[in-house]
Structure 1
Amino acid sequence: MKERILGKTGLKSAEIGLGCMGMSEFYGQADEAESVKVIRTAVEKGVTMLDTADMYGRGHNEVLVGKAVQGIRDRIVLATKFGIVRSDDPEKRGVNGSPEYVKQACDASLKRLGVDIIDLYYMHRKDPSTEIEETVSAMAELIKAGKVRHIGLSEVSAHNLKRAHAVYPITAVQAEYSLWTRDIEENGLLDTCRELGIGIVAYSPLGRGFLSGSIESAESLAPDDFRRNNPRFMGENMRKNAMMLAEYKKMAESIGCTPAQLAIAWILAKGEDIVPIPGTKRLKYLEDNINAANFRLTPEQVVRLEKIIDWKHIAGDRYGAEGMKTLDK
């Protein structure tokens, strides 16, 4: 698989990474043995970036990833995040970006992962009660301490990215980016990343599975799948959004790829500074996602796709009300 360079700090990654969140939570039940096999198979096939966070499965995901990378640690870019604090109520979460918490969270992640250093450490969400300069200064201290190699920010505004980057070079920004979520093109974040020389890691490049074309309705999902309560998958919103899929699937068929591969190929075509991290917990989907690297879209195909999946007409917010409150706008 081809490599891409994220930011000016020299971090290299295969052009497609692996999101590990669903192996622990949010997308229905997962088989831990298969999840470990998915991670190790991904690395065998050339994937280098593995993405996790301390809040996925309340720490379980980091433990799982740590188990999977034993013996192959030197072949991967290990990325994790801090900042979202879980409570007993699954619908309510806090955000903590205080310097003290940054250090505590990093030490806890290192222990769960079973590693000495994290390659890319993200602030998962901005803490509204802590100035971003304080949080980033604490993250920079982790680099000086030899616990972290590169730092990143997730779901940050262009304004706060500039403030953060003035404190210490930010290597990558993680943002939801797909054919049906293109906010970063409009809110200045993509332009700011490119102006400052910061890479973009695109999560949910398949639109939380919508762009795979296989989800018929929210009711068809597992009872504990969070998409059942995601506005875009509910009721009339889902019916409206699904109307775009027929032509989309026809385009994938004409190119000779699957709908999922088409979505990832679109991301790859949007710039050499972007690394998509499609998530999966199943081996059968892993190979499909990785093989998206075999398809290179022409500028004309990109334009056509963006007309078929018109993101301005997607119905519903990308998170529920509580999730939307945590986004840095």
Structure 2
Amino acid sequence: MKNRTYINNSSDTANGDKKHGMDRRGFIKTAITAGAVLTVGPAMNNMIAAETAASNTVNSGIGNKYERLALKRRLGSGMAAFDVSAIGLGLMGMTYNRSEHPDKKHCVRLIHEAVERGVTLFDTAIVYGPLNNELLAGEALKPFKGKVNVTTKFGHEIINGKATGRQDSRPATIRKYCEESLRRLQVDCISLFYQHRFDPNVSVEDVAGTIQDLIKEGKVLHWGMCEVSADTIRKANAVCPLTAIQSEYHLMHRLVEYNGVLNVCRELGIGFVPYSPLNRGFLGGCINEYTQFDINNDNRQTLPRFTHEAIRANTRIVNVLQHFGRTRGMTSSQVALGWLLNKEPWIVPIPGTTKLSHLEENLRTIEFEVNDAEWNKLEETVAEIPVTGERYNAEQQRQVGF
């Protein structure tokens, strides 16, 4: 069986124009009973050979009946380099902020299925739950210790298991949260420790210095920041090299292309991890104006972009993605993820799901070939449709962009 994959490496220049450069297509030839090789051109040095199901499938105890679908990419550079699957899995929605969810047994099995398919990057945070999302990640990924990576985040203040809504990135608090995350995740070292939100009361240099000490102590391997400005990234990286920046990025929210964040990542050799790459499920086409969100466990009901009126208006964008995908055999989710993967070889989206069908759908995005001209046309078409509603309410918006 042949799996064809594209990664068209192209960069955006400082003025936002597309700079066409590398355009290499690899072919993954895998078989359940025989190993194979992924041939990668010199220009693709950020893409690492895909492992085959026959030779390197992780023994998860649930059978090796699926091919491993996820290629690998590199976040960061130099000593901060971090090799991960081209698509990761965001775990937040398995316990937090995404309405009703399956029980723990189902979620653990889904995580195991992701490992089976080659996913090596799993994303959680202290505030998800709070705490119970890290506990789920620790339990589910314990059998794969040393074979996969779980990233987590500090910064949101948690007192007695509840989020206060405040930020606390004081050095002593970072150390405390690090120790607690190590225990919940059942690991000896946190693969990638993000500052979840900027703390205006603590200098970024103090945060970076604390992380540098934790790296020296072997408690943290790499670090990153979420939703920060280009200037903040420069200041932090000067103290302790960053591996990744995590910010919202998708066809309905492209701010990082214009505010200097992607440019500074490109300049400094820092990876980029888009969270909510499907706009909280919206670009997958399963949400409409009649969708009801759990008032006790879904933050989408508080977001201006998810009012009935906004959903109705923004559905035009989903329709564009669906139309684009029809003649290419792609779903709207695959179109949205494929567009991100095409942007840069150091971008690794982390879509979340609680459904096996959606997991496989997302991972199979890497099989499709779409050229730059087609992606550019899609961008132009989507850009003609105004996005209705801000992505965050006023309070949440104050926490981003430092």
For residues 317 and 364 of structure 2, what CA distance do their matches in structure 1 show?
24
Q: How far apart are 1:42 and its partner, in Å? A: 0.4
- Conserved 8 A contact 1:121-1:152: yes
Match in the other structure for 2:312: 239
Q: Distance in 2 between the 1:311 and 1:286 partners? A: 30
Aligned partners of 1:299, 1:91: CA distance in 2, in Å?
Answer: 43
Name 2:91's counterpart in structure 1. 20
**How far has the Cα of 1:188 moved from its partner?**
0.3
Distance 1:82 1:91, change over 3 A: closer
Residue aligned with 1:178, SS? coil
Secondary structure of 2:256's counterpart equals helix
For 1:74-130, what per-residue CA distance to the aligned partner results, in whole angstroms no more than 9, with x for missing partners?
221211000012479x89611111111110010010011111111101011110011
Equivalent in the alignment of 1:149: 221
Match of 1:255 in 2: 328
Structure 1 stretch 172-181 or stretch 238-247: which is displaced more? 238-247
Alignment of 1:49-128 (within 5 A): 49-86=121-158, 93-128=165-200
1:281 corresponds to 2:354 = yes
User: 5 Å matches for 1:75-224?
Assistant: 75-86=147-158, 93-217=165-289, 219-223=291-295, 224=297
Q: Secondary structure at 1:69's aligned position in 2? A: helix
Query: What TM-score do the two structures reach when normalised by structure 1?
Result: 0.96
- Mark the runs of 5 or more structure 1 residues left unpaired by the alignment: none
Superposed CA RMSD in Å reads: 1.8
C-alpha deviation, 1:141, in angstroms: 0.8
Aligned position for 1:3: 72
**AA matched with 1:2:** L
Counterpart of 1:57 in 2: which secondary structure? coil
* Deviation per residue, 1:38-73 (Å, 9 max, x gap): 111101100110000000001000000000011112
Q: Cα–Cα, structure 1 residues 49 and 91, in superposed 2: closer, same or farther, change >3 Å?
A: closer
Structure 1 residue matching 2:146: 3-state secondary structure: helix
> Which amino acid is the alignment partner of residue 69 of structure 1?
L
1:318 aligns with 2:391: yes
Shift of 1:181: 1.1
Query: Which residue pairs with 1:295 in the alignment?
Result: 368
Q: Distance in 2 between matches of 1:146 and 1:213?
A: 43
Q: Which amino acid aligns with 1:11?
A: F
In the alignment, the residues of structure 1 paired with residue 179 and residue 289 of structure 2 have an alpha-carbon distance, to the nearest angstrom, of: 41
Q: What number of residue pairs does the alignment pair up?
A: 329
1-structure distance, mates of 2:100, 2:146: 30
Letter in 1 for 2:108: V
> Aligned-pair distance for 1:308?
2.9
**CA spacing shift, 1:144–1:87, aligned 2, 3 Å:** closer
**Is the Cα contact below 8 Å between 1:87 and 1:94 reproduced in 2?**
no
Distance of 1:218 and 1:22 partners within structure 2? 20
| Moved segments of 4+, more than 6 Å | none
Q: Is the 8 A contact 1:181 1:311 kept in 2?
A: no
- Which amino acid letter does the alignment assign opposite residue 260 of structure 2? G
Q: How much has 1:319 moved relative to structure 2?
A: 1.4
Given that 1:213 and 1:259 are in contact with CA atoms closer than 8 Å, whether structure 2 keeps it comes out as yes
Residues in 2 aligned to 1:232 and 1:218: alpha-carbon distance in whole angstroms:
14
Structure whose alpha-carbon radius of gyration is higher: 2
Tell me which residue corresponds to 2:34.
Answer: none
Q: CA deviation at 1:10?
A: 2.2
Shift of 1:296: 3.0
Q: How far apart are 1:297 and its partner, in Å? A: 2.2
Asked whether the 8 Å contact 1:155–1:328 carries over to 2, the reply is yes
Aligned mates of 1:242, 1:289 — CA distance in 2: 20
Report the equivalent of 2:345.
272
The more displaced of 284-293 and 302-311 is 302-311
Say if 1:66 and 1:218 are closer, same or farther in 2 by CA, change over 3 A. farther
Q: CA separation in 1, counterparts of 2:271 and 2:101?
A: 31
TM-fit CA distance, 1:311: 8.2
1:239 deviation in Å?
1.9
Question: Which amino acid letter does the alignment assign opposite residue 19 of structure 1?
Answer: G
Where relative contact order (Cα < 8 A, 6+ residues apart) is larger, the structure is 1
Gapped regions of structure 2 (runs ≥ 5): 1-69
User: Are 1:226 and 2:226 an aligned pair?
Assistant: no
